[in-house]
Each structure stands twice: as C-alpha cells, then as structure tokens.
Amino acid sequence: MSENYLENQYLQIKNQIPEGVQLVAVSKFHSAEKIKLIYDLGQKVFGENKVQELVEKYEILPKDIEWHLIGHLQTNKVKYIAPFVNSIQSVDSEKVLKEIDKEALKNSRAINVLLQVKIAEEDSKFGLTIPETEQIYNEYLNGDFPNIKITGLMGMATFTEDKVQVRSEFLKLKTLFNKLNQLQKLETLSMGMSDDFKLAVECSSNSVRIGSAIFGDRE
C-alpha cells in the first residue's frame, strides 16, 4: 500500500465524521511508520488492543499522541500502561478496575476509563452486563476507585449485515448511557467501527474506533 493511498483513506474517513465526534484511529498490527504518516496529517488519538504493542509504539512515537487501549486487559499488565495511557476503553471487570485504580495512584495520575458493555449477541465478546455496569458505576459514585475517572461507555455490536440488529444493540447502550449520565455526567459513548460507524453516530455515538477503513486490512 502506498503512502498516498493511506493518507487518502484517512482523509476520506475523517471527512465522513461529523464535528463533535472523536475519531480513534485503530492502529493495531500496523507499523509505527504508518501511524506517523497519519499523525503528520493531524491525527493525535490512536487505539491499540494489546499491551505490549501499545508500549512499543508509545516508546518510539511522538509523546503528544493520546493512546487508548481498546482490547481486553489482564490485571497483571495494567502496570505497563498506567504511566502513560490516556484512556482504557475496555474495562470489563471490577477486578481490573481496582488494579487500574491502584496503578493510577502509584503513578500519581488520573486514568480515564470506559466501561465496556456487552451488547452483542455473540458469546466471544468481552464486556459487562448492564446490571454489572450499573453496579460498578454506583460504587464509583460512592467513592470507590478514587484515582480513576469513568468517562463513559464502550460497546461493540454483533458482526452482522443485519442493520436492524446492530441499531438495536447500539440503542441499548445509548439508553444505558443516558441513564448513568443522569446520575453523573459522562463524556464518551464509544460505539462504531469501520463497518458500522455511520449507524453508530446516528445512534448518538460521539467516539468511533476505526481501523481497517483507514489502514487497510490488518497484516
């Protein structure tokens, strides 16, 4: 793939995203060189799904990149990203939340997290149930986890052509978002990937995570 192709892909996607909606460029499996090309066009927010890959890229790329972890996080790996990660979008258990809180304190910094909610039908997807999400948010509002900031919710719809189903899954998350938002204001509703981001934005997503539509198929 040529440099121009990548730059065009990026600009094309960027142009399709309404103002006020954040674009997280998902760079997993793609090289630091490719990330740098997109960075030079003004993209500062990138998402990775593996801790080791995230740390390696963090070390060699410009320090004003805002890194988001979007993949399942094991408790014993939180310490590697706690010093620099901007947001952990994939919090899917209370156990990992406690560990993030602990590491945030150790590093004297607040870490933003999103609670990942399971909205898809597929069994394979990680995520909290809706009742678990509400319970954790209430604990958070009661002062548990003082070193982190829960800034919103993240969800992934079922991988299907069935738009009616995808829409209903997105709306399920939006409804939960509105409910929790009434307790205390939340900033980020992270829904939508390469194949479904337009639908997600229609369903009130204000942060989309786009990989292959920018970078091409993963190597």
- Residue 143 in tokens: 């002062």
For ligand PLP, the closer of residues 28 and 77 by Cβ is 28
For ligand PLP, the closer of residues 32 and 105 by Cβ is 32
C-alpha 191/C-alpha 164 separation (Å) is: 16
Q: How far is the CB of 209 from ligand PLP (least distance, A)?
A: 4
- Residue 71 in tokens: 């993949």
| DSSP alpha helix (H) spans, 69-154 | 78-81, 94-106, 130-141
- φ/ψ bin of 157: left (φ > 0), alpha (ψ from -120 to 50), beta (otherwise): beta
For ligand PLP, the closer of residues 174 and 209 by Cβ is 209
The neighbouring-strand residues paired with 157 are none
Q: How far is the CB of 143 from ligand PLP (least distance, A)?
A: 29
Q: How far is the CB of 61 from ligand PLP (least distance, A)?
A: 19
Q: How far is the CB of 194 from ligand PLP (least distance, A)?
A: 3
Residues engaged in binding ligand PLP (CB under 6 A): 26, 28, 49, 70-71, 156, 193-195, 209-213
